[in-house]
A and B are shown apart, each in its own frame.
Chain A
């Protein structure tokens, strides 16, 4: 226990210590910037947290570089955006009945009626309070669960089991995402396939490059994800706006704000918040199930448990509490599989992983949480697990982001109603240029830029055909790891063709994957 406390202490101080040992406030500053950007982005309909993270990552890497030192400021900013966006989405949902982020859709159901009744301030403060509480709750679960799961996993899983685990999570993701599991699965396979372009482990020269030497190093990750996620969405929005014949929209008037939320009311929300946050945390810890599902489930539960279910949808604060606490709780819990297994479950987690893989020599996975005894050797150096210090540093920044959300966030949310709207028809083209520039600058020149464009077309097709993009992206990210693991497990076993089914644990995981596949196929045939 002493050792754990020592590591936590080192983690906390490492965030504030620069390379030369002096006080360093850059990570803190970037957390604040991130949260502010996140809240603004969340409050802008059509933009969301992952969207901003996708553009911010290459820009941040250009600014801070690739050294270990760059990790804290970059991660701090990304974590801030992630957390800020979950809070900001509620404001336009409540005041103008337009959700700022997709998961705030259910907030409109009760939040907007409250605002129309002249209780706008109360609704916003309710959303803020339950959102931040939910977020904090899931972070605490993360801090405790990630190390425990990681230590367990490290002890039990070898190469075959790790391979089976990735296969299982990919199948699970395809099964739960969207209404078209078959096509989702094909998309996932396609994503895995395109990531194999370029380098090989065998040393037999690059593969699948059409003879283009630039592709020998593989497709640039950040640019591809930027293209498939952000550019495709920008293209679709631009096209939709082009088709909507000039619709002159006057910014809607913000309704009367009304009285403040009292501490007594806050206290009475706590049971609802706890329920919502628990649902959000459980859902968030599973890969692929997103904030919307968590919010829906929580809202339905609250409605069913309520003594007056008919008041839901008429401006019942408990409805806002249920959705906001649940969808915010997802964001922390999402990092549980990321930090303990290295498997991302949603888009926000994808960017945290991308940042960590791009910068420095830190990597997520079970090895992070090895509690190496700290020994100091006279005149030499201190021996410790630097990855673990980094992990606690990341946790520290999450706590800092929560603190900013509590204080500045609440203040800013009150003001958002008065902010002039950014005209989307100018903003989206600007985002397009910024994204393409970021891809060029940070990811290998025209190779990065053109990959982003190519993946934008893939993303466009997937979106237009209502096929979920998540399996594609996660498959794209995990396939190289999976290939390495499978090859490694095979050769390390001495060429045993049945290596995957020799261990009971991997056998169980593979059986589960097969079960999920069969279920998906059944579902598709029944439809």
Chain B
């Protein structure tokens, strides 16, 4: 995974334009950081006076230095690209296509849905058992340390997450894929909830 053989030649068609976008994007990022973000979100300035009255680097010192160093590099990236024309010139670069972005969007949506299911299954189960008269608890928080409630959300959400991505890779979902997903989630519950007592499964550490 770490070191793939370096591809020195043949940047994909149109890939060269990414140097331009990356360079410009970095410049915009630097501008936003230096002009908007840093002034509002860093407590002390580039330099600050310490207790002894000396000027010392403040909390903004390093961030400004790093972002500042990005500017000349980004400019170089843009210029070497423009000078060489879009056909050749500039560094080798890959490409992120519209299809890639669409895939990412789907993946993000899917993870979000699974996490929401993880969060809501527990409360839903409590509501159900309360309605059926099996339990009388004030809410999920009160039973978030009790099995099976504490693992219910993770079991359903985790199974959904795994089987969803299996569907993505296989373009189909066989019953045994769901079984594999449910089993691996169950094994995770067994390890993290059964064998270990000092850790918490999602969503129980965020109630």
Contacts and interface: CB of A to CB of B under 8 A. Distances in A.
A465 B202 contact: no
A457 B80 contact: no
A444 interface: yes
A488 to B, nearest CB: 10
Interface in A367-384: none
Given A63-B196, A430-B184, A442-B199, A235 B107 contact: yes
Interface stretch (A134-142, A147-155, A286-294, A398-406): A286-294
Contacts of B89: 527
Contact of A186 (B38, B48, B74): B74
Interface stretch (A117-125, A198-206, A304-312): A198-206
A336 interface: no
Nearest to A490: B57
Given A102-B5, A242-B168, A521-B76, A180 B93 contact: yes
B180 A445 contact: no
Contact of A460 (B48, B92, B104): B104
A36 B206 CA distance: 36
Contacts of B74: 186
A470 B70 contact: no
Contact of B198 (A65, A209, A453, A521): A65
A486 B166 contact: no
Contact of A208 (B8, B42, B196): B42
A318 interface: no
Nearest to A453: B111
Interface in B174-196: 177, 180-181, 184-185, 188, 191-192, 195-196
A454 to B, nearest CB: 10
Contact of B192 (A50, A441, A469, A483): A441
Contact of B1 (A48, A192, A521): A48
Interface in A506-527: 521, 524-525, 527
Contacts of A181: 91
Determine the interface band of chain A, counting residues with CB < 8 A from chain B. Answer: 35 or more
Contacts of B192: 62, 437, 441
Nearest to B92: A179
Nearest to A347: B2
Nearest to B185: A433
Contacts of B163: 429
A131 B100 CA distance: 38
Nearest to B159: A433
A149 B143 CA distance: 56
Nearest to A50: B2
Interface in A173-198: 178-183, 185-186, 189-190, 192-193, 196
Interface string B1-45: 111111110010000001100100010000000000110011110
B122 interface: no
Contact of A466 (B94, B188, B195): B94
Contacts of B165: 238, 428-429, 432-433
B181 A464 contact: no
B37 A208 contact: yes
Nearest to A177: B3
Interface in A22-80: 47-48, 50-51, 59, 62-63, 65
Q: Interface centre among B2, B44, B60, by most A CB within 10 Å?
A: B2
A207 B42 contact: yes
A190 B90 CA distance: 20
B124 interface: no
A437 B199 CA distance: 11
A444 B205 contact: yes
B93 A465 contact: yes
B62 A465 contact: no
Nearest to B6: A179
Contacts of A486: 57, 62
Given A180-B92, A445-B203, 6 more contacts: A101-B1, A290-B2, A291-B2, A292-B3, A429-B169, A446-B205
